Amino acid sequence: MKKLAIIGGGRMAGIFAKNAREIDVETHCFSPQKGIIEKELFDYYYDIDVLNVEKVLEICKKIKIDGVVATTELTIAPAAYVAEKMNLIGIPFENAINITNKYHNRRVTQNVEGLCHPRYAEVYSIDEILKLNYNYPIILKPTSKGGKRGITVIRDESQIEEAFSYAMKESGNVLPFIVEEFIEGEMECSVESLSYKGKNHVIQVTEKMTSGAPHCVELAHHQPANISSKMREKIEDVIERALSYVGIENGPCHTEIKIKGEDIYLIEFNARPGGDHIAHPLTELSTGYPYIKEVIKIALDDFKDVNKELFLKKCAGVIFVTEQTKEFKKIFDECENYEWCYKKNYIGDELDYIVHNDGFNKNYFIYCSDNRPTFK
């Protein structure tokens, strides 16, 4: 039986464990006790700080791990370190360090044909932001945080100080930040992809519903994105080329983009499966393709390429029922009565106002059908 090291103990780690068990792969979870959610899902568990990469590597060598996967931004570099030192399939460690830096990713993909960028800069202080003379609105965000943490859309100079303080709090006081001219795009999407030995495959394009300014929190995800076949082809071509520039040679990537007219603007790359139910179960529901299992097979060097001709053409999505989406409360209350309902997650009657992505601790429903339902 092959052995898989799962770096991290959160929700995505549990999803990896369940999928690994279904394909007869033994799982070894590395996470501090406070970070693990469902310890019983893993065959073996090690209470360890995942940033202690030498200790993680020592254990992985001892138990002769066959593959390693990352589950969050924080675990991308440790997973790459273990893979590199053990000559396993993964991302080169140096690339992994850079991939988690939003400023670096913009810089290295600046000349990718068909991929647009707003004006952007790396900053360490409020004074540096003021000196940029960018057109408002601008967006300020930590360079290495996901889940929309620490980001603020700034409409004028009076909002800069509060936005900077918020970014400092959410980043743990880690500088620098990145400032960009905010692109008021027509549609925000994410691109779910897999890479194996330098060959990149776009599996699905997800359409996002967000709260907009100031924090752009994600409120719903729909697959496939409601775009033309021409735009879909353009996205696949552009992103598959851009992934090579960033250095993602193996494994999953969740790339966020905005579409404005015929232009594709990069938001950021995330070298891990998409959260908020995007990688699982939405991508599998909409395509029939076992995305997480294939991520595991890549790590184990057991990947057999992608045949998109076999993909299903289903519609799948998730809607988080919050204060910002209270218009969906009625349909949420009765969604289990509809054929399209795949799952209902009830937390409570009170609707929260959310400021960053939280895909599991909120009321939500997941749908799957031949066509996107009309929710009224």
Q: What is the CATH number of the domain that holds 12?
A: 3.40.50.20
Q: How do beta strands 67-70 and 120-123 pair?
A: unpaired
| Residue 107 forms part of a structural domain | no
Do 208 and 329 fall within a single domain?
yes
Return all residues near 8 (Cβ < 8 A) that are at least 6 apart.
Answer: 29, 30, 31, 35, 50, 70, 71, 72, 74, 75
3-7 β-sheet, strand order: 44-47, 26-31, 3-7, 67-70
Predicted confidence at residue 232, as pLDDT, reads: 98
Statement to judge: residues 57 and 77 lie in one domain = yes
Residue 13, burial from CB neighbour count under 10 angstroms (0-12, 13-18, 19+): buried
pTM of the model: 0.95
Phi, psi of 199 (to 5 degrees): -100, 125
Do 136 and 70 share a structural domain?
Answer: no
Is residue 28 in a domain?
yes
Question: Which domain does 137 fall in, by range?
Answer: 119-181
| Residue 267 pLDDT | 93
Which of 88, 109, 137 is the C-terminal boundary of a domain?
A: 88
| The pLDDT of residue 146 | 66
- Domain termination residue (choose one: 153, 181, 209): 181
Distance CA 270, CA 76 (A): 9
Specify whether 222 is located in the same domain as 362: yes
- Is residue 237 one of the residues assigned to a domain? yes
- 157 and 228 housed in the same domain: no
Would you state the pLDDT for residue 199?
Answer: 97
Per-residue H/E/C for the chain: CCEEEEECCCHHHHHHHHHHHHCCCEEEEEECHHHCCCHHHCCEEEECCCCCHHHHHHHHHHHCCCEEEECCHHHHHHHHHHHHHCCCCCCCHHHHHHHCCHHHHHHHCCCCCCEECCCEEEECCHHHHHCCCCCCCEEEEECCCCCCCCCEEECCHHHHHHHHHHHHHHHCCCCCEEEEECCCCCEEEEEEEEEECCEEEEEEEEEEEECCCCCCCEEEEEECCCCCHHHHHHHHHHHHHHHHHHCCCCEEEEEEEEEECCEEEEEEEECCCCCCCHHHHHHHHHHCCCHHHHHHHHHCCCCCCCCHHHCCCCEEEEEECCHHHHHHHHHHHHHHHCCCEEEEECCCCCCCCCCCCCCCCCCEEEEEECCCCCCC
Whether residue 61 sits in one domain with residue 41? yes
The answer on 268 and 359 residing in a single domain is yes
Total structural domains within the chain: 3
What average pLDDT values come out for the chain (376 residues) when binned by 10 residues? 97 97 98 92 97 98 98 96 98 94 95 97 96 95 80 95 94 93 90 98 96 86 98 98 96 97 95 96 98 98 96 98 94 96 95 80 96 87
> What per-residue confidence (pLDDT) applies to 181?
95
Closest to 254 in 3D by CA, of 202, 193, 189: 193
